[in-house]
Structure 1
Amino acid sequence: MFRTHPRAATALLSSVLWALLLSGCGAVSGAPVPEPSPSGSAAVGCRAVMARLPGTVDGLSRTATGTFTASWGDPAVTLRCGVPRPAGLTSTSRCDEVDGVGWYSEEFTEIWRFTTIGRSGYVEVTVPAVHSPAADALVDLAAAVSAMPEVSACR
């Protein structure tokens, strides 16, 4: 359903390290998720997203909430709002739409990472491979994520 997109070597290394952190390899389970620092319209949109987050995602209860982060379950499905544009995201990247929200998807060994496309700010959702299908989390988060203003449709 999803495919991996090419990216620069440094971006790949960063992505792999982030995926390892989230999957619990080399990190203590329950470790805090790094907080993004959005500004301007992205920060305004993120506040709206965070206010609408559900208590459960894919049947998992919320385990943590930060200013612009939240997680559900263990291993955790995580959401970070106001992240930078993914290095591999280009104008020709595939856009998968889930309940009206466009997503750029990346698959790693033990985790999926989804980042919104076409919104005034980037929202990132990581889903460990044990939670399958990974897109189920996106269905549960769509109503909240749609609070981030859309600037272009999924193509």
Structure 2
Amino acid sequence: MGRHTWGKTAGALVLAVTAAAASACSSSNDDGDAKPAAKAKTVTVEAATTTFQDAVTKFDTDGGCLEQEPGTCWDQMQALMKPARELRKALNAEKSVGADFWTEAYALIDTMEDGIAVGEDQGVPAGGATELTNRDDVLGSAHDLSDWLDAHPIK
């Protein structure tokens, strides 16, 4: 009989703790007064372009990526990808021109994304091989995109 009483007591305790936790989760602290989360501001195309081109310039003035070994340029590749993603958001929000205007810019950012998707810096092929690596996708496309932005300014 002692087991039966202990089981009822344990069951009652579990029920009480569960009920208390559920009520704490659903307590209303003036839910009607809660403010919705603020939407993240999208930067302008002009500002995103400047940020992206500054990153490309920094890459170049810091010496670029001189090492041929895999893994030695991953940080620089990611440093260019971050402002490219912000630029894409700004392009998506820009309504003064149609989406067709940005086709080439989107294609270059997509190529950069494909290079980053590999998940590592593949380095430069040994022996002067002509095959491309993800460095070409990211670093080369970043420079091409910077040139494209110069040729297609939006103010």
Shorter chain as denominator, the TM-score bin is under 0.3
TM-score by length of 1: 0.25
Structure ID, larger Rg: 2
TM-score by length of 2: 0.25
The structure richer in strand per residue is 1
